[in-house]
Amino acid sequence: MENAIELKEVSKEYPDFKLDKISFNIPKGSIVGLIGENGAGKTTTMKSILNIVNIKGTIQVLGKDHQQYEKEIKQELGVVLDDSFLSEYLTAKGINSIMKDFYSNWDEKLYFDYLKEFKLPSNKLIKEFSRGMKMKLKIITAISHNPKILLLDEPTSGLDPIVRNEILDIFRKYILDDEERSILISSHITSDLEHIADYIVFIHNGKIIFNLPTSDLLENYGIIKCDKKDFEQLKEKDYISYKKGKYQYEVLVNNKVEIKKKYKFEVIDKPSIDEIMLFYVKGEK
């Protein structure tokens, strides 16, 4: 499978943080979810791909070096960063006037069709938009030049479930319209990623903890709830980490079918991506 983006041994050092030789790919036609707590390195990773920060290592976007071909690459990217800025004193119509001069392949008809579809007024000042309306406008602006890749940093943060679902539908349609398109989406709302992401990349303290298909995470990982006696029969190599409660142990495993056969546990609960993250970050080993 061809890759839309390839990161190899990418590092970036700050006084109080280091992105530490991370490597992962975004296959063409896929949605990749980037997860991790605040300060883990998600935004630095996004900015590295965009050549906003200087890095060690190599990044290729659509088969081209991200620095050498930066201008050409950015014509093929749609970007929504957490701090991306649309002037509050512009209108949606005014944004169209700016963007059609900026992008050679800006699709004015598509942009206004999106505004109509998502009930966004074209002549109202952006400062009068709700938070959800502003985010939908940012995303519509990012995809109206028909980019091959979307880079999205916290696109559904702080939005109600209905608006979040509308935005996820935009992403689904974007991918379905062209199987060569790809999305890298950073989000704290891992329940959204469970619904749309093909792969999950978990970054912690600047390092990649795992990079797995979402289906593998949700099907193979499990949480055992047991007493001390049952916990002590487990071999350390058979689990990821555990949390000790007042009356029982909770244990994260990543091969629940084998563990169930080996130790005869009757019930192994299916974890959420949030729970898996917490076991890796807060669990004991």
Mean pLDDT throughout 238-263?
Answer: 91
User: How do residues 33-68 score in pLDDT, each as one tens digit?
Assistant: 999 998 899 999 999 999 999 999 999 999 999 999
Q: Give Cα 274 to chain centroid, integer Å.
A: 13
pLDDT value for 49:
96
Chain region(s) in the chain for CATH 3.40.50.300: 3-213
DSSP-based three-state secondary structure for 244: strand
pLDDT value for 158:
83
pLDDT value for 86:
73
User: How do residues 60-115 score in pLDDT, each as one tens digit?
Assistant: 999 999 999 999 999 999 999 866 667 888 999 999 999 988 888 999 999 999 99
Angle at the Cα of 94 from the Cα atoms of 151 and 122, rounded to 5 degrees: 90
Is 25 or 246 the better-scoring residue by pLDDT?
A: 25
Closest CA to 138 of 152, 128, 127: 152
User: How do residues 185-224 score in pLDDT, each as one tens digit?
Assistant: 999 899 999 989 999 999 999 999 999 999 999 999 999 9
pLDDT value for 84:
62
Dist CA 170 CA 176 (whole Å): 10
Written out in words, the top-level CATH class of the domain with range 3-213 is alpha beta
